[in-house]
Structure formats: C-alpha cells, structure tokens
Structure 1
Amino acid sequence: MDTDEERRGFVDSMAEVQVKQQEVIMRQGDKGNNFYLIKSGTCDVWMADSAGERRNVRSLTAGSWCGELSLLTGKPRSASIMATSPEVTLLMVNRRAFNAALGDKIVKKRAEWVPFLRLLPIFAELSEDYELGLLADACREVRYAAGATMHEVGTPGDNKFFVVREGTVVAVAGGPAESTKYGRQAYFGHVELLQNSKHQETRRAETAVWCATFRKEDFLKLVPLHAFVREAGQQQLALKAEGAPAGSKMRGRRFGEAAEATTGVLTGKVASGKKKTTEQVARIMGAVSRNVIFSRLNEMQLTMLQEAMMEHTIHPGQNVITQGEKGNHFFIVDSGELDAFVQGEDPDSHPVRVRGFRAGESFGELALMYNCPRTATIQAATPVVLWSLDRVSFRTIVLEANTKKAASYESFLEKVPLLAPLDKDQRNRMVDALEEVTYAQDDAIITEGEEGTHFYVIARGEVVITKAGQGELARRREGDYFGELSLKTGAPTMASVTAAAAGTTVVRMDRGAFQRLLGPLGELLAMRKYTASGAELQQQASDADAESTGSASAGVEMPNEHKYIKAQRPMTLSDFTVTKGTLGEGAFGTVRRCRVRSTGEVFALKQMQKADIVSMGQVEHIMQETQILDRIAHPFVTNKWAGFVTPSNLILIMEFCPGGDLFDQLYKHKRFSVPDTRIYVMLPLEYMHSMGIVHRDLKLENILVAQDGALKLTDFGFAKVIKYRSWTLCGTPEYLAPEIILEKGHSKAVDYWAMGVLFYEMLNGHSPFEAEDHLATYQKILDGTVHYPPEMNIDAADLISKLLQKDISKRYGNLRDGCKDIKEHPFYAKSGFDWTDYAQRGSAFKPPLFDASKYEWLPAERIVTDAKPCKPADSELFTGF
C-alpha cells in the first residue's frame, strides 16, 4: 500500500475477533477466505506432511499475520493455526478487500524473490510455500554502486541480515588478514545481529551490488538459526541411520562429555598469575560477568580466578587455539584484535572467518568444564595481550569452595541435638535442600507469632533474638542455629529473630522440603530405638549404615528373578567371529556384532582403545563401568557376558540388541505416541539406585531395543557408586541436571532429571533444552523454562514437569517415597500400566528376527586389531578389568 489513504482504508475494512486458548483459527486443508493480523496474544503454526506427521514450524505474536497464501493462490490452507495464549485478538479481512489492497503486490514480490531464496542452502529447511513466502514478504531490497562503503569495521551494527543477489562485496576485518569476498548467494551481518555487536568487517561493493536485507525481528522469527551455528565436532560425529533415504537429514547423535575424573580428593594446584592493574581487573571481571560459566560463582571465587589468570603476548598471524585440538584454557582479550576461522569438512577449502574478538571479549569457556575439541581457530590480527585461565585452576577453585560448603553444612547439622538421631545419609539429603540467604542489618528473619516454616543455621554474622515485652533474650553467631522446632511442629514462633549485622548470612531449610525428602521429623525420630541409657541400638545403626552405603536393596523387588548367566570361562578374541561393519562408534572405539564360535550365540563386542582412554583422562570412568557391569543383572539393562584385554584394547562382550537404539527409532517415527512412551526405563534405575549406583548418562542413544522388544539401558561409562554425593562433571549436555552444571555435588536425582528430558524428547521429537551450542543449552537448563506444546498429553506434561525440577527437594524419584511417586502418577496409573507384566515391555519397537546368515562373519582377531599402542605403565591402570 503506497499511500496513507490506502492503508487507512484497508484497516477500516478489518473486523476484530477474539478467540480462546487452543481454539483453531484456521485448519490445514480447508478453503480460506480470510486474512488475519494478530493484534494481541500468541499462536502456533502447525504443518502436517503426507503421512499425517505434524510439526510446529513457528510461533506468531502480535504484529504477525497469517492466511494470505490461500487468498493469493486459491489453494487450501497450507497450515493450521492454533491460539496458545489465554485470549487472542485478531484483525480479519476478507478475500476481496485483501486482494484489492495487497494481493497483486504480494504475488509480484513473491514471484521475484521466492525462486532466489529457494536456492540458498541456509533456507533449505523452509517449506516451499508457506515459510518461503513469509521470507519473501519480509525481505527489503537495497542496491549499492560500485565502490560504495556498506559497513565500516567497529561502527554500530544496523541490525540487518544481508544476502547478495547480484554483484560482489569485499570485506576486510582489519590487520593483515586476507580479505573476504561475498558473491551471489553469500550472506553476512548475522554475527553482528545475533551478538548485538559492532560491525565485524569493513564491507565495500566491488561491483554494483543488489542485496536482500532482513530486519532483526523478521530474521529471528523466520530464519532457522542452526543453519548458521553448528559445532564442527557435532557435525563430524553425526551418524546416519541405516536405511535412511538418500538426502534425508537427521541431527547428530549426542555424545557424553566429562571433565577429568575426580575421586573426591582435590589434588589440583591453582596457578599463581601476575598482579593486574585496576583497569585490567575491571576488564577481566567485566568479561567474566557476561559469561554463563561464571554466573554461579561468588565474589571470593571470582577474585581467586582473576588472580590465577596468566598474561600472554601474541603476535599478528599467530594462532591462540586451533580447530580440532583439545582445549584446556579460557581466554580474555586485554588488548588487540583476533579473528575466528572455521574449516569446513573439505580440507582443501579455505577457512571461513566467522567473527572477531576485541578487548573485553572472551573465548574458550567450554574448556573449563571439560576437555572438548576446539570448534574454531582463533588467530591474532594485531598484537594482542590475553589473560588465560586453565581448567585445573578453575575446577580446583570451584570444587574446593563447593565441597567446603557442603562439609560445613553437614557439620552444622551434626551439632543440632534435635537432628542427632538422623544418620549421615539423611543429613546429607538435607544439605541438598538448604538455601543461603543474606540479610541487611535490622532485617527481620523470623517474626514472633508467625507460623514456623524454616530451620536456620548462621553461616556469617550475628542475629539477635527478642520477645515482646521482654526485649533482647540472646544473640547467636556463626555456627549457631535457631528455628529447629519448625521442622517438627510448624507451630507459631515464640520469639523474633533479627539480623544484628550487615551481611548476616544464614542457610535455611523449609519444613515442606524436609518432609518431602525425609518425611515428618516426628516419625523419623519415633522410628529410632534406644537403650535406657540413651544409646542407639546396634541393629538399628547397622541398618542405617547399610542404607547410607547403598549396599541394601532398599526394598526393590525383582519380578521374574533375572539370573543372567555370564561366561563360565575366560575368553579371548579367538573365541569369536565378528562382522566387518560396526553397530556404532563411541568416544574410545567401536561396537560390532560378534558370535561365539562354539555355540553360535550372538553378542555385541565393544572395543575400547586404552591409549585413547588414558589420553582423555577417562581411566576411572572405564574401570567403574566394568566393575558395575560385574555387579548388575537386570532384564532391562544390556548385561555383560564377558570381558578381557588385549595389548591395546579393552573388550566387553554384551547382550546383543538388534533393534538399534531409541535415537534410531525416533528418527524413523519423528515422535512417539503416549503409550509407546510409557516404558520401563525407571526399573533399571531403581534397581541400580538400590545398590548406590547412579547411571549419569540416560538418553535416547543409551536405550537399546532387544530382540523381544524390551528396552535395555546401556553404556555405563559414566555410572558410579555414589555413597553420598559426587563432584565429577559428566554426562550429555542436553540431559545434564542443573546441579551437575553448577558442580554443587550430585547423586541419584540427576537420573530422574534425565528421565524427564527423555520423556519430553520421545513425545515431541526434540529436547526441551536443545540449542545452537552447549553454552546456550546450559543457560536454558539453568533457566529451567520448558515449553509444553498445547497438544501434549496433560498427564505426561505434568510428570515431566515434576521430573524437570531444579529444586531437588521437589523432584520426583528423589523424594521420601522414591520411585513410588512416578509409578503411581496418572501418566502410568490411568492406563492401568502393570509394572510387573513384562509381556507389554516395548512391543511397539520389536525388531524383525535377526538372521545371522545374512552377514559375513570373520575371525575377531583379524578385525579387532591392536592399532594404537599403549605404554606398559598405562596398561597397568586397567588391571582388574
């Protein structure tokens, strides 16, 4: 519309309509006669393919529109629109008014731009009609004469994304780096737009240039961001499902990450860095404050990290980090400029500059969490001064502070007479529910006469206790406690407690949290038995000790008592034949089908290279895995049949599951039905937890489908016997519980968090915390916001919400009644799900009968070779495997 009069006439022709949440505004396949503009509220757009599979393609907010495609083409609606907010207000106009005002202009513009946009790989995932049409509507064309300057490096960004349609743009980032040329179909501006940064390069039109531009708001709504940001390591690890059609796409499998194993004794040494000036400290602290990795640290820890940072001078052209190498340091730019380059899969192609770094910016933060490969090469463009922090110093500072805090909390609780009858395990569970609160001087902590809700221990400072009509009764200082009767009775408080000094800090526990975790305190005290002299009976103490070490069965019943028969004699490679093709690739080796020569039984042979395990610091994890596999036998785990070593390899012989894993199944089905999501995955977790074993890597890739359709938990590389809590950072990023990311210490509750992620992914086809990179994933997890699609089963959403609880005093599975809360939840209970009827154990995934005759079986010693030597001293680390 070219004039104000035309625009006013169009608006005047619109009718205002209100719709309620979950009402369908338009339905895919119906004839369309109206165009809609959203005045307020939110909607979701759903599209179904020829097989009837639906996917949520985007969300609409105020200012968005829909329905134009049917009016332009006369074809049925291409998508369904559903209201997702409590109320949505629409402005509606009919076909005649729409076409008179907009139709011809839209048809002309789409005819000009859609064919070009369809050629661009970054838009390959958009549908040809609906989404590309919206993209064409949003683009604005701009032209530059030859020699014209489009952007100057360091000037404010213009919040626009550019795609070159005709001509050539020359870009120079500054410094001696070689210039970059953008030709037809090339794009730029997305880095500045996403990071709200200044222009990264000076860009000039080498010839006359014609570009399509998109405003930031349109870019964020319409463009699939993962087309721009993909981790090189994840791309290389992406595996394709057998039998997938040519050209089909799937996301990469997720691999577990781990920091160096810690046994609970901190032996790391904090680096002693150079003293910094006030200005340098300010730049360092500014960069640190903007990074999610450091968001959980207190002022003392941040100061220690700043003091541990080392100074480096880098010359132009020198690499600071190189793509693919293992990372061990985090860097902050003190002065100078650097460029980041990413090498594509073609080793002969030129690396692509993806962004720049300047003073006050930082890079390499994931290296502080675990030893991951660098995803880009960072090179100095000018003389540069950097500050670096190594992983050992970082983790020592963080873990030392967190372990001391947990130990001090336990020490506080041990001093409370009312809690003395609780055993160490019970007090340890209380520690997880304590929260730290700081008060200003004269702030009220407890007010006389109010309901007693919390128990308090003073960590720092002083409090004064007063009573109406009597004045000050007492003062309490660090290590003292008050409010303990609130845990037992919840009766009105008999006095007021006020902070007597600024910065008074207490740790407190809510009565409700205590009861959720342990039950009513009165009941716990009544359960203990004592002699006339007040000593606890020995039998009761022994039972408590057994429970705390995880050696008791905790009442877990094993229906159909599973007695898995392991190999009756030591095995070697000569006892097996194997297939040349692999079942999968792991971090340390491969998995193949194998067959016992003497019996013809088929198993899975997992080959792990000792040298790789040593170099990645994962010896402890691997040894834990085989020791745990020796202890467990359950219908829903891949049981170990045998294990042995060769000069270079560790070999595990496991149950064979011909149905692949649930990752494969999700790729085939896109998402699972509610009945197919009701699986027995909790039973092996409950069984393992009863022995004190925490799995720590539950995910789709680690659940295999057996010949009879049973779903079996596998990969115990991160599993560990945890007596009270563990500090090791390990697991798969999208499944990590908040307490692992925060390194607060963790136990079995992390498996129930992962179960929530698993259920969500099975029902929706993607993780609730899926993001463009690991740091963004961690931020989503710590934020804890989960979007539940309106069509999602309400009972499933409710159960998942109770598993994805950041507060572990509320997380199902970790509460007083343990797994009973999950078993009796309506998600299972309403369906009549029988936890003992193994006949219904996943038949929907039952694979065809495995036919061994279809494969060529070769002597194992010819295929499973010792390719990578291992030093004798390193081989001794695997004694007892």
Structure 2
Amino acid sequence: MQNIHSSPFQPQTAFEAPVFPKSDEDVEFVSLALQRNFVFANALSDEETSRKREMKSVVDAFEVHRVASAGTKISSRDLVGDYFYILKSGCVDYMGVDPATGSYGIVGRARRPGQSFGELCLLYDCFPPADCVSGDPRDGKKVPADGSSCVLWRMHKQTFRQIMAHRTMRRDVALRNALLRIRQFDGLDSEFIARIANALDVRTVGEGDTIYREGDPASEFFVVGGDGSTVELSGGGRPPTALGHGDAFGSSVISSPDGRRAETAVARTRSTLLVMDREHLDRTIGSLADALTLSNDRRLLKSLPLFRDSDFEDYEYELLAALIDRKELRGGTVVYEEQTMVEEPALYIVRDGLIDLICDEKPEREKVLREGDFFGEDTLTPDKNMKFGGPKGGTKYYQESIEVVSDTATVGMLTLSNIESVVLDLHRLVAPRAKSGGGRKRGLVKSRSASLEEDVNVHGLDDLNLLKLFGAGTFGRVWIVTSKGGGKTPYALKIQSKRKLLDKRQASSAKREREVMAKLDHPFVCHLVGTFQDAASIYMVMSLIQGGELLNLIQGGGAYGGLPEIATKFYSAGILEGLTYMHRRHIVYRDLKPENVLLDSDGYPVIVDFGFCECLPSSSIGLIGGIPRTNPPPLPFSVVTDKTYTFCGTPLYLAPEIILSRGHDRGVDYWALGCLLYEMLFSRTPFFTDRVTDQKSLFKNIVRGKWNVPNDKLTDAGMDILRGMLTKRPADRLGCLAGGYRDVKQHLFFRQVNFTKLVKRQIKAPWRPEIVDPLDISHFESFVDRDDKGMKDMEPLTEDEQLVFRDF
C-alpha cells in the first residue's frame, strides 16, 4: 500500500466546534450510528462516563444534508472527499466499475438508516472508492418525509480533526495542571509531567463508592477525571473536602510507598478517576529522585552564562544532562588546587555534603558550596590562544581550590570530553553562531561523516552530469549524478516538481525534509549534501546508497525470503540506532517501512526519505520551569505542543494513535519498527491477513491490536519484543517507558548485538551486495525505458507560489 497523508494540520486554539440543533431522537440516532463505526467507537475514550460527554461535541457538529433528486452525485471518486455521511432516510447508491464485468454500475448500496460512508476521508486526503449517488428514495428502508431523494447527516473532515485534537490537548492540559499541584512533583520538568499524564489509567467508580479508607495501605494516587465527577475526603482530623475535575489526591504514596492512608475518599457522584500506582510511576519515569535530579541539571545548564549564551538546542541540553556522572568524595579530598594546571576540564554540581571554595587571589569569592551549587565552569573555556585545557593542549590554570569539608560529598561531573561528544565543536561555547533556522545553505557542503572524494560547488542543474535514472515517484525522479567540475564521486539527485508538490499540498513536507536532513549526520541515516532550485523544481543532492531496498531481502531477492532471526537483529538494531539519533533531536520519522531502508555497499541499513518527518518542540525544557509550585499558575491551553496531529504514513505500519487522531509522537516509530521486525521474521506484516480486503478492515485490525505469529519458530525474546512494540497504548509501549530507547537496546532480543561495534561498522553484515562499480544500481528496479515527461510542460508557478520555496 502506498503512502497516505492529510494536508498539514495545526490545531487552532480558538476553534469553536459548530453546533447544529437536533431533537433528542436525532441525537440518539447519530450517537448510535457513530458507535457502530470503528473511527468514532475507538477515537473516543474508553471510560463509559466520559464517552457520552465527548460524543456530544461530535454529535453536535453533524449537520443535515438534503439531496433533492435521485441521481445527484453526493461525492465523487475523482475528487478528494471532505465529508463523512450517515444515512437518515432514502437510499444512496455506490457507483463504480464491477471487477467481474468491467462495466460501470451499482457496486453497493446504503438503504438502512444509520449506515455510514466516507470515514477514511476524515482521517486523510483520499478519493472515495466509488461515486456516491442519491438513489430512488423508495429503495430505502425509510422514505424522506419532505420529498427529498435522501437525507443525510454529515461532518466536515476539518471539523472532526479539530475536535479530536482539542479533545487530546484539553485532556493533556487538565492532567498536567493537576499533576503540577502535587507537592512531590515540584521540580519535575514537563517531559516527566507529560509522561505521567499520558500513562494514567482510567477507573470508573459509582456514586457512594469508597475509594479507600483511613488507615488502608497506600498504593495509588488519583486525579479526578471528567466533568461531573466529585470526590469527598474526610478524616485525619480535617473537615471534609470536596474535590472536582482536575483535582489530585492520595499523593502521599509518591514519597511514602509503604505508608497508610491519612483520610477516607468517597465518590459523591458516579466519577471517572485517573489513577497510577507507585510501581507504574517507576516504569514511566524511573526513580523519582533521579528524574528530579535530571530536571534540575537541565535547568542549571541552561542558566549558566557559558551555556546560556551558546547556540545549543534543547536536545543538546538533554543529552548533556544525561552525561553528568556521579562521583563520591571523601572528607578532606582536594578536587583541585589554585594555580595548578587544568588536567581534566569539567563542570561539577554539588549533590550533597559541604565543599569549600578557597581563592587566595580573590578572597571575596570564598564560600561553602552546598547542594545545588556548582564549580569548575571556568575550566571549560579556552585559553588566550583559543585552545582548551587538559588533553586538548591548552594552557589553563585553576582559579580556586576545592576541598571536601564534610565527612563525605557527592558531586555530578560533566567533563569537557562529554560536552564535545554532544556539541561536536567546542568553540560553540565561546563563539555562538547565529541560528540558521533550519539547515545548511544552498550549494553542496561537506558532511562530517560522508566519505566524499572532493569538494564540489554546484549552483544549478547545469553543474551536474545526469548519468542514470534509478527512481521515480509521485513528485519527481531520482538520478545518479556527478559534478561537471571533474568530480568522480557519484551522488543521488532527487528532483521534485514544485507544481506537483503544491497541487498535492506537500510543499511544506518537502521543505521540512530538507530542514530535517540538514540536521542529521549518522552512519545509518542518508546524508544530505546540498540543495538548490530553479523555476520548476527543487533539487536535493544526497549520498548514493547502492545496495537496494531491505524489502528485496525480505521478499527473497537472491538472499533469504524472510530473514533468519540473527539477520533480523542486525538490521533492526541498525534501524533502531538511526531512529534513536533522530528522536534525540525531537524528530519523529513516521514512515518506517522496508522500502525506506536501503543497504549500503557493506550491507548496513540506511534510512532514507524524510518527507513525513516532524520536528517536535522539546517537551522537557522551558515549558514549565523548575520553581517549586505551591500554587502554580495553570498551563495555558496552547502549551501542549509535544504531539503532532497530521495524518501520514503507510497504512500497513500506522500506529493506532495516528488512525484515531489522538495526537502522536516518537512512539509511532517504535510501533512501525515492531511491524518491520515482524515482517523481517515472517515475510508479511502483522495486521494484513487473508481476511483483510480493504483499508478499513486493516485499520480495524490495527486499532484493535489484533495480530498473531504464523508459526512457532519465534523465540521467547522475539515474541516479547514484538508484544512490547505492538502495544496499543503509546505510554506502555516498549521505547516509551522510563528507559526510552535503552529499554529496546537492552532487551533480551538484542543480547547478541554489540551496538558500539555496530555503529563503528565493525560487524560483518549478514549479506553484502555485489557492486561492480560506483554507478552500479543493479539492485534497484530498472527505469531504462522511462522518460521524464512528467517533469515538463507543467503550468508555471505564480510569484506567490514561488515564495513558498524561497528558503529551499
């Protein structure tokens, strides 16, 4: 199945869902019809008490659509659909080509009130599978009373997308505001608050039910859920307290997991509660103490002038904080002495204990350092010759003496070498570059890890030799090229038609692809070498990967035909490393499939095609801050930006949260990796079975999480990692728990994989493609007989249309 996508979608914070008047009978009719449709039945929450409230905004947004005469076309298979319909009365004929006879005619019919069609149009931009035409009203089970041919309820796709996005965003804000009021979470940054909010479980309690009693063992904490839910706390020597939507209670378990309840909690109405036990909390964020430390370290690094004045991005602060090592020091230990040569430049953060800072030259600087204080930042700067101290050869001297004065002390230590491993160029600490806003400048530039034979300078198509066509898609072509300036290194040149991109509303995706690729430099990710454009097309010059698609191996392209488990581990481990590299930079890939993983000349996997990538804002830096929040101001509705709502991908690999329009993040890549891992093992995808005949059936299987293995040859570790990745709920999915990508890398399935050697390309690949020369593309489909007419004679762009590509 080919890629599918909706137009780029942004939730509107000021959106007001339309309300069309309905009788009680109409409300009940539309509600029942929606509950029978998989999109709506699954798109709303699972708790019964909230379902009706959430359904109301959806039901209110349906409007009546009357079709006056029989034979009127309601939707066309030649036009992208905009509406979802429910038949109220009359009849609708589905017109198309009968595969048996090859003739155009009726291929289906809606004649029972409550039948629906067009649900896929709500999810993404697609053409209906048939023309929908009003039929003879007498053919329906119910004849319209007003003389119309048929009467329908309908909802526009933009309305549906906005309602679903608002539902998710409002829920996220309400839960995060509730969690921010929990004393034990003071200091946690928004990444951890978001994880906890997403992982809360739902529980429904009846009116008068006792949730827990004073003296009971404490094991869970709670947040009051939907509107109308009320809980009363009593006992513990305090007057009764009424709690409503968004209030948290029972939080003593967070700091005292073995404690007892100090009050009694009773539901005063039928209520929805969001609940989490301490064990689940640990699975979600890890140790609370470690999460608080990491949150504080991130904020501290951002506050230090040395770092604050740099051009570091949020993901770099996150990586730096994760590299702060813990060091135990005994009383009397001298960490370093004033005016001695700097041997190991490092920033130190005091975790506990007392440490003296002594400065003979500037006595006013002397003080006792306690928890949260820091020292050593001066050692990270270069000398007058712009050389850094320690192994870097610079002449740097300590400006103070540091001695432990308590019995013991603990410090966090961030070394210069660890800083360099993240920021790559240490001079960014002292000479921050102006942020470019998205990537390299036009023309060809040398990649840090690409092995280029020569520097080239290309300003347009005339500077390149187009040698062989070896790829063709919806928007353009891919050629093997070399530089006319005498260069011998072949590259891949991706040419995309501006007109086609605009007509398909994918110009922003092409620009985003360039911006994303300009940030990536990893051995298992395709390298962007440079870009340029002319009046008709945009051009991307990339490294050439000659070994063909991973799909060829899976389907038995001369090697296996379904891969042995050891080979599956090799390829999936390489793909995981590439995805992890992107995720650390807040990039969600969203189009993982075997066609988008190529094999290089050594047989290593390389991820390509970044048109569906999305750069998410950091959810861990700066949204909430770190000040203790006794009475925190509520988060504004617009603050939740750590999910994206644009529908895109390939149907076979879509995660449930994409199909259900719930908003998604990097978790969709772990789901797709699970699908791909399954496909490598069994040469088929997990949700496409013999009974699946169309996309709707496929989507039903995905949102229900229905899959099984076709044989008993899979190891227990293989089955376990599949279960972990193909978990419907993103918060419980392998890769989305406290350990993140480490949970995947450390899974028993990958026990035989040395990831350090893998990234250094020191492992022999299971299969190495035979490549006879630098232009050999024999491992790809042949395009010898295809021409390039699709790129020519297209309608020229207007000035305003050209502005869309101005930064390419």
TM-score computed with the length of structure 1 as normaliser? 0.64
Matches within 5 A, 1:269-288: 270-271=17-18, 273=20, 275-288=21-34
Q: Deviations over 1:302-344 (max 9, x none)?
A: 3233332231315222222222421111111111122223337
Q: Structure 2 residue aligned with 1:694, among 581, 588, 612?
A: 588
Say if 2:192 is the partner of 1:401.
no
Where do 1:155-554 residues align within 5 Å? 254-266=1-13, 270-271=17-18, 273=20, 275-295=21-41, 296-297=43-44, 298-310=51-63, 311-343=65-97, 349-351=102-104, 353-358=106-111, 359-382=113-136, 383-459=149-225, 460=227, 461-467=229-235, 473-495=240-262, 497-525=264-292, 538-539=303-304, 552-553=318-319
CA distance in 2, matches of 1:378, 1:527: 57
Q: Does structure 1 conserve the Cα–Cα contact (< 8 Å) formed by 2:233 and 2:266?
A: no
Residue pairs, 1:721-740, within 5 angstroms: 721-723=615-617, 724-740=642-658
**Pairing 1:766–2:684 present:** yes
- Encode CA deviations 1:271-310: one digit per residue, 9 max, x unaligned: 554x334444333222211001111223234323333223
**Separation in 2 of the partners of 1:813 and 1:853?**
38
Counterpart mapping for 1:584-595 below 5 A: 584-585=472-473, 587-595=474-482
Q: Against the structure 1 CA distance between its residues 477 and 326, is the aligned structure 2 distance closer, same or farther, given a 3 Å change threshold?
A: closer
In structure 2, the CA distance between the partners of 1:324 and 1:660, relative to structure 1 (3 Å rule), is farther
Instruction: Give the Cα separation in 1 of the matches to 2:187 and 2:233.
Output: 27
2:88–2:153: 8 Å Cα contact kept in structure 1? Answer: yes
Tell me the residue number matched to 1:29.
none
What CA deviation, in whole Å up to 9, does each residue of 1:783-827 have, x standing for no partner? 223312312233222112111222334322222222222222222
Question: Pick from 709, 714, 717: which aligns with 1:792?
Answer: 714
The separation in 1 between residues aligned to 2:114 and 2:275, in whole angstroms, is 38
In the TM superposition, residue 476 of structure 1 has moved relative to its aligned partner by 2.8
Deviation at 1:832, TM superposition (A): 5.8
Aligned to 1:871: 798
% of aligned pairs identical? 25
SS of 1:333's equivalent in the other structure is strand
Deviations 1:229-287 (A, max 9, x none): xxxxxxxxxxxxxxxxxxxxxxxxx33322222345457664554x3344443332222
Q: Distance in 1 between matches of 2:216 and 2:306?
A: 37
Tell me the residue number matched to 2:577: 683
- Alignment of 1:665 onto 2:553: yes
Match of 2:761 among 825, 834, 838: 838
SS of the residue corresponding to residue 726 of structure 1 reads coil
Question: Is 1:576–1:859's contact at 8 Å kept on the other side of the alignment?
Answer: no
* Alpha-carbon displacement from aligned partner over 1:759-787 (angstroms, at most 9, x marks no partner): 00111111111233232222222222331
Matches within 5 A, 1:38-53: none
Q: 1:676 Cα shift?
A: 1.6
Give a deviation string over 1:65-112, Cα, whole Å, max 9, x none. Answer: xxxxxxxxxxxxxxxxxxxxxxxxxxxxxxxxxxxxxxxxxxxxxxxx
Tell me, in whole angstroms, the C-alpha distance in 1 between the residues paired with 2:152 and 2:716: 52
Query: Equivalences for 1:72-87 in 2 at 5 Å?
Result: none
Shift in Å at residue 618 of structure 1?
2.7
Contact 2:458 2:464 in 1 (8 A): no
Amino acid at match of 2:231: V
- Do the aligned partners of residues 841 and 334 (structure 1) sit closer, same or farther apart at CA in structure 2, a change above 3 Å counting? farther
Partner amino acid, structure 2, of 1:601:
T
* Residue correspondence of structure 1 range 61-80 to structure 2 within 5 A: none
Select which of 644, 655, 658 maps to 2:532.
Answer: 644
For 2:241 and 2:14, the matched residues in 1 are separated by 43
Distance 1:705 1:526, change over 3 A: closer
Q: Against the structure 1 CA distance between its residues 483 and 876, is the aligned structure 2 distance closer, same or farther, given a 3 Å change threshold?
A: same
Following superposition, the deviation at residue 880 of structure 1 comes to: 0.9
Distance 1:863 1:397, change over 3 A: closer
Seen in structure 2, the aligned counterparts of structure 1 residues 271 and 428 have a Cα distance that, compared at 3 Å, is same
Greater shift after overlay, 386-395 or 835-844?
Answer: 835-844
Q: Which amino acid aligns with 2:40?
A: F
- Counterpart amino acid of 1:768? P
Q: What is the letter of the counterpart of residue 457 of structure 2?
A: R
Change (3 A) 1:417 1:620: farther
Amino acid paired to 2:265: T
**Could you say which residue in structure 1 is the equivalent of 2:698?**
777
- The whole-number CA distance in structure 2 between the counterparts of 1:860 and 1:335 is 51
Q: 1:710 aligns with which of 584, 604, 609?
A: 604
Aligned to 1:825: 747
1:267 and 1:609 map into 2 onto residues whose CA distance is: 35
Higher mean displacement: 503-512 or 648-657: 503-512
Q: CA deviation at 1:837?
A: 4.5
Q: How far 1:526 moved relative to its partner?
A: 5.4
List per-residue Cα deviations over 1:38-83 (Å, max 9, x = no partner).
xxxxxxxxxxxxxxxxxxxxxxxxxxxxxxxxxxxxxxxxxxxxxx
CA distance in 1, matches of 2:492, 2:167: 43
2:547 partner letter: G
Provide the C-alpha distance between the structure 2 equivalents of 1:279 and 1:859, rounded to a whole number of angstroms. 59
Q: Output the CA distance in 2 between the equivalents of 1:537 and 1:625.
A: 29
SS in 1 for 2:107: strand
> Partners of 1:361 and 1:583 in 2: how far apart?
43
Contact 1:332 1:362 (C-alpha < 8 Å) held by counterparts: yes
Structure 1 residue runs of 5 or longer lacking an equivalent are 1-253
Cα offsets for 1:496-535 (capped at 9, x unmatched): 54344223233223322321232121343456769xxx99
Q: What is the distance in 2 between the residues matched to 1:344 and 1:571?
A: 52
TM-score (norm 2): 0.70
Match of 2:517 in 1: 629
CA distance 1:277–1:527, change in 2 (3 Å): closer
Whether the 8 Å CA contact 2:11–2:162 is kept in 1: the answer is: no
Contact 2:476–2:791 at 8 Å: present in 1 too? no
**Alignment partner of 1:299: what SS?**
helix
> Could you say what secondary structure the match of 1:786 adopts?
coil
* One-letter amino acid matched to 1:593: I
Distance in 2 between the 1:453 and 1:572 partners? 66
Distance in 2, matches of 1:620 and 1:344, equals 38
Code of the residue aligned with 1:294 in structure 2: it is F
Write the letter of the residue equivalent to 1:674: E
Are residues 401 and 729 of structure 1, via their aligned partners in 2, closer, same or farther at CA, if it must alter by over 3 Å? same
Residues matched between the structures, number:
620
Report the aligned-residue RMSD. Answer: 3.6
Q: Does the 8 Å contact 1:456/1:507 carry over to 2?
A: yes
Asked whether the equivalents of residues 488 and 520 of structure 1 are also in contact (C-alpha less than 8 Å), the reply is no
- CA distance in 1 between counterparts of 2:498 and 2:527 reads 22
> Residue 499 of structure 2 contacts residue 794 of structure 2 at CA under 8 Å; is this kept in 1?
no
C-alpha contact (below 8 Å) 1:413/1:427 kept by paired residues: yes
**Higher RCO (CA-CA < 8 Å; seq separation 6+):** 2
CA separation in 1, counterparts of 2:120 and 2:615? 27
Answer yes or no: is the 8 Å Cα contact 1:659–1:706 preserved in 2: yes
